[in-house]
């Protein structure tokens, strides 16, 4: 019986150690990979305590920076339309 318990403990330990935490990605990575950023943001919506997760924070910051850049480009385009190059 003890042999079965030891075997089970070893198998459980191997299974747990095989689980790998998700790699923390940078804001720059999420800026360059909009599809991965969107996936992470969707995942973060359902994670309790997502504000504590580095990937959630970095993906959110990348989303803010991307929106600001898009807005800046649109404003420049609008100004060029009004005033020319």
**pTM for this one?**
0.65
The token pair at 41 is 């943001």
31: left (phi over 0), alpha (psi -120 to 50) or beta: alpha
Q: Helices (DSSP H) in the chain: which residue ranges? A: 2-18, 27-32, 34-45, 54-83
State pLDDT tens for residues 1-53.
656 565 655 565 444 444 456 799 999 999 999 999 999 999 999 988 777 89
């Amino acid at each position: 019986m003890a042999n079965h318990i030891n075997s089970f403990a070893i198998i459980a330990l191997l299974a747990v150690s095989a689980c790998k935490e998700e790699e923390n990605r940078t804001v720059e990575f999420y800026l360059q990979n909009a599809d991965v950023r969107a996936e992470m943001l969707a995942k973060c919506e359902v994670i309790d305590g997502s504000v504590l997760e580095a990937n959630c924070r970095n993906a959110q910051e990348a989303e803010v920076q991307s929106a600001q850049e898009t807005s800046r480009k649109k404003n420049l385009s609008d100004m060029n339309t009004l005033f020319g190059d």
